[in-house]
Structure 1
Amino acid sequence: MTTVAVLGGGIGGLAASYYLCKSPQVTKVLVLESSSRFGGWLWSTRRSDGAVFEHGPRGIRPAGAVGHNTLNMVDDLGLGGDILPVPSSHVASQNRYVYMNSRLHRMPSGLSGLLRTVPPFSRPLLLSVAMEMLVKKGAEEDESVHSFVSRRLGKELADIAVDSLCRGVFAGDCRKLSVRSCFPVLYNAERRRGSLTLGMLLGSGPSPAVPPGPLAQRSVTESWSQWSLSRGVESLPECIAEYLQQSGRVELHREAAVQQISPSASGWTIRLEDGVVSADHIISALPAKALASVLPPSCQPLIQLLQDISTVTVAVVNLEYEGSILPVSGFGHLLPSSEDQALLGVVYDSVPFPQHDRTNGRTTRLTVQEFTAHHYQRHTHLGVPTAPSWSRVTLQRDCIPQYYPGHFRRVESMRSFIRENNLSLSLIGSSYDGVSVNDVIFNGRTAVEQLLGTGVLERVNTGT
């Protein structure tokens, strides 16, 4: 393996390039990014007064194999000293709200929250959990998240909590999203244990083996619920890009939009606006539809499958207010679709990460996420009496893929086509195997493992 071309310089493409650099089997890596910056949806604005605003993901979860994997990378890059951890005991971890019936409701947490009837729910959640163990296993190989949760835990929980959660995480409709692809832990718990409760208690199947490094071990010891970086999450792709630049084996190309890729005798010919490059293998971190637009006609079955993956566009509205204006303290609040079709939720950024507030004077930073940017100052439900002193609206076009029922089959068919036609092509990024930062990074690593063997991962885990 001499030259690998990585299409897309978001966090997935950068992560794959990082792992490629760990292997002596790779002589050269070409990273081709169509925009003027690397990092994709990991995008931070840093003001001169010290304030930091996130236009995409803001907090990254440390838990599980994929969480440990990301923290191992952060450690290896020397970013451990920039970590801003939020422990599980923090008010931002304990308090999460849903806005319903024109009121903020704190979501139940802890044993007392499960035992009592807590509005907006009509009965204690423990009853739903206890009865869930008696529900028969579903017969379908996939179904919507709403159908799955209604069947196992009741329609009320699906209509309120799960509807809100899917809007907050996927900006999607739980009645259309796949439980198998969006919440594989829940799906596998039912498949393997016959119950979500037993699956949570006993485990729902094997997980990838990722030995935690010092930083990941610290996250377990200190019980982090999420973390960020002192200069915002964009510090991570920035640091990876610098690492790649210094490796001497990576060429980073900005404003290098791929026009067409064609199979060649040695791999691929990649046509750019200003020339042609060759590669032995392509790792595509492009969105599914973007990859479909550059594949040759001989890949028509793959092109059709890629085009079938839908995406949503989200308006991210960063707001800053003078003083302390929140009526409650917590991570933020979500809204079920029955309350507001356009508004997805509000994150109280100053609560989990006060370090990102400006250095002089007390302020409150919020982020509003919605399908349109027309109503971002409508915060009557927070009781905000004044207009923001600073705001920024970012329209993130086609930013979150939507995994509809049968998504896993579509992805299997894509990879089967690639194998059967002996294409030197790997598919990574949020279009396929998970939309979180951790998932995308880990899937970049998995693609490199499959391409080069497991030795690269063993060296990364041991820090050599």
Structure 2
Amino acid sequence: MKKICIIGSGITALARAWQLQQRGQDCVVLECSDHIGGAIQSHREGDYLAEEGPNSIQVNSHEVDAFLKSVPGLEQRIVEASAEAKKRFILRDGQAQAVPMGPLSAMTTPLWSLAGKLRVLKEPFIPAIDTETEESAANFVQRRLGEELYQYAINPLIGGIYAGDPEQLSLRYAFPKLYALEQNHGGMIRGALAKMRMARQNDAPKVNKRIISFKNGLAELPGLLAKALNGSVHTSVSIQSIRQNEHGWQVIWNGNSQHYDQVMLTTPAHTLGQLPISESIKADLRPLNNIDYPPVSVLSLAFKRASISHPLDGFGVLVPECEGRKILGALFPSSLFSGRAPEDEALLTVFVGGERQPELAVPHTKTLLTNVLPELESILGISSDPTFVHHKHWPRAIPQYKLGYGQQLAHMNAIEANYPGLKLAGNYRDGISLSYCIESAVKADTHDE
């Protein structure tokens, strides 16, 4: 039986520890701060509930579904998003336009011009790019769907997911499923049709795909995982040394020396070099410090519902770069989940900064409000001051899978090969979403033996 030490307590760490414990492995999770969950932090203040990091989980695979069901006490805490969650808005010419949900609405939507819609019809006839060529997400969409669909569909979407620059993000690594559609099926439309045919022919049980949170926010997930791990999670830990020896790995924490067969580092890539590890490993980890994490400010605001002219009947509104606004977008959490704001109020979560405008992601709440409130007044028709304000500033927020990211991934593989028993894991490696982090932790069983 292996003895495993996991450094960090984000969702990747806790999900992996839970998988190991269920298999009877001896596992310990060490967190240097006084709280668990990494970026998953929920702030409850009376009737208001603000998320400081991720706002929901997309249950879109058997692995994620099975994992959530395995956590004791979690299922009864789940809150599913309302049907309105399917509706999304994109800003065009200052107006929040609904994103089409089907072929008919795609033909009639004012979000795209007739020329832009007709340009999409060429997509099935555009050849796939050579596999040796790495392409940005922007170039891929411009090549296959045209400039207008890039500006008023994919550009704001990428701003909402990565807070990133589509011209710098690698399609192959930032959006591997899109890349696979072209490489495996010849294009996006062909790939979508092929997947629909495969789904109809597949007799395996279907996943109940849904968007979820929990009654007291996403922080319930790491909280219940830590409880299920039954004393294996330690916070406010002081780690003095992480050293490789002939027997495996020696970790000295809180003054005690412990031996482990495996050490998993799950802290952000830019903090790996701060760990008390040998100089040779530090030198090998140093290139990972070049992974960009742009700043993002997350501003949760509540308003009297009567003072908002927009119906807020959807997931949220995304803002294309070409609209020249000072926000990346806004989510409508109180429209999606119950218990987020008083009955006569609405809660919004606004994102500012990212690769697009890093200078606007400031730590000062008053400065942020000066920029954000006029935008919300213009976009959503808000005519009052907020009744609730909660601001979380992330100086380094979301890892960017930029062009050339394959070299970073190859470097991570080389580090693990050079130092047996050392593992690198986190949202900088297998995808940034909570679903990807959970899947990578679950699937690690298949290649760690």
TM over 0.5: yes
* SS in structure 2 of the partner of residue 400 of structure 1: coil
Residue by residue, what CA displacement relative to the aligned partner does 1:352-408 show, whole Å, maximum 9, x if unpaired? 1133333xx411111111122522323222111111011011112322100002213
Q: Does 1:71 align with 2:65?
A: yes
Question: How far has the Cα of 1:259 moved from its partner?
Answer: 5.5
Once the two structures are superposed, the pairs formed by residues 240-259 of structure 1 within 5 Å of their partners are: 240-245=225-230, 251-256=232-237, 258=239
Mapped to 1, the partners of 2:260 and 2:399 lie a distance apart of 28
Letter of the structure 1 residue corresponding to residue 219 of structure 2: E
Letter of the structure 2 residue corresponding to residue 253 of structure 1: H
Counterpart residue number, 1:306: 288
Letter of the structure 2 residue corresponding to residue 310 of structure 1: D
Residue by residue, what CA displacement relative to the aligned partner does 1:132-160 show, whole Å, maximum 9, x if unpaired? 11111112442110011111111111122
Question: How far has the Cα of 1:183 moved from its partner?
Answer: 1.1
Counterpart residue number, 2:432: 435
Q: Does 1:377 align with 2:366?
A: no
Mapped to 2, the partners of 1:16 and 1:392 lie a distance apart of 31
Once the two structures are superposed, the pairs formed by residues 168-183 of structure 1 within 5 Å of their partners are: 168-183=160-175
Q: Which stretch shifts more, 134-143 or 173-182?
A: 134-143
Q: Does 1:269 align with 2:250?
A: yes
Mapped to 1, the partners of 2:328 and 2:239 lie a distance apart of 34
Letter of the structure 2 residue corresponding to residue 230 of structure 1: K
Counterpart residue number, 1:457: none
In structure 1, list runs of 5 or more residues that go unmatched: 453-464
Q: Does 1:445 align with 2:436?
A: no
CA distance 1:377–1:296, shift in 2 (3 Å)? same
Q: Does 1:363 align with 2:353?
A: no
Once the two structures are superposed, the pairs formed by residues 277-292 of structure 1 within 5 Å of their partners are: 277-292=258-273
Letter of the structure 2 residue corresponding to residue 83 of structure 1: I
Counterpart residue number, 2:44: 46
Mapped to 1, the partners of 2:69 and 2:441 lie a distance apart of 18
Question: How far has the Cα of 1:441 moved from its partner?
Answer: 1.2
Counterpart residue number, 1:327: 310
Residue by residue, what CA displacement relative to the aligned partner does 1:207-259 show, whole Å, maximum 9, x if unpaired? 9xxx999xxx6x62xxx5411111211111110000001xxxx5321122545
Mapped to 1, the partners of 2:387 and 2:397 lie a distance apart of 28
Q: Normalising by structure 2, what TM-score? A: 0.88
Question: How far has the Cα of 1:102 moved from its partner?
Answer: 2.1
Letter of the structure 2 residue corresponding to residue 377 of structure 1: L
Q: Does 1:55 align with 2:57?
A: no
CA distance 1:287–1:380, shift in 2 (3 Å)? same
Percent identical residues: 27
Counterpart residue number, 1:83: 78
Counterpart residue number, 2:4: 4
Question: How far has the Cα of 1:124 moved from its partner?
Answer: 6.5
Counterpart residue number, 2:358: none
Question: How far has the Cα of 1:48 moved from its partner?
Answer: 3.4
Q: Does 1:23 align with 2:61?
A: no
CA distance 1:54–1:151, shift in 2 (3 Å)? same
Letter of the structure 1 residue corresponding to residue 95 of structure 2: R
**Count of residue pairs brought into register by the alignment:** 425
Counterpart residue number, 1:237: 222
Residue 344 of structure 1, aligned match among 328, 331, 348: 328
Counterpart residue number, 2:357: none
Residue 131 of structure 1, aligned match among 122, 126, 136: 122
Counterpart residue number, 1:191: 183
Counterpart residue number, 2:32: 34
Question: How far has the Cα of 1:36 moved from its partner?
Answer: 0.9
* SS in structure 2 of the partner of residue 35 of structure 1: coil
Mapped to 1, the partners of 2:42 and 2:430 lie a distance apart of 25
* SS in structure 1 of the partner of residue 415 of structure 2: helix
Mapped to 2, the partners of 1:448 and 1:341 lie a distance apart of 45
**Does structure 2 conserve the Cα–Cα contact (< 8 Å) formed by 1:401 and 1:435?**
yes
**Does structure 2 conserve the Cα–Cα contact (< 8 Å) formed by 1:43 and 1:56?**
yes
Counterpart residue number, 2:297: 315
Mapped to 2, the partners of 1:18 and 1:242 lie a distance apart of 10
Mapped to 2, the partners of 1:212 and 1:434 lie a distance apart of 26
Question: How far has the Cα of 1:128 moved from its partner?
Answer: 3.7
* SS in structure 1 of the partner of residue 58 of structure 2: coil
* SS in structure 1 of the partner of residue 429 of structure 2: coil
**Does structure 2 conserve the Cα–Cα contact (< 8 Å) formed by 1:17 and 1:31?**
yes
Residue by residue, what CA displacement relative to the aligned partner does 1:42-75 show, whole Å, maximum 9, x if unpaired? 11112334x3221111121122x3xx32222222
**Does structure 2 conserve the Cα–Cα contact (< 8 Å) formed by 1:60 and 1:437?**
yes
Counterpart residue number, 1:92: 85
Mapped to 2, the partners of 1:145 and 1:326 lie a distance apart of 35
Mapped to 1, the partners of 2:446 and 2:33 lie a distance apart of 28
Question: How far has the Cα of 1:111 moved from its partner?
Answer: 1.9
Q: CA RMSD in A?
A: 2.5
**Does structure 2 conserve the Cα–Cα contact (< 8 Å) formed by 1:305 and 1:414?**
no
* SS in structure 1 of the partner of residue 321 of structure 2: coil
Mapped to 2, the partners of 1:126 and 1:85 lie a distance apart of 33
Question: How far has the Cα of 1:267 moved from its partner?
Answer: 1.6
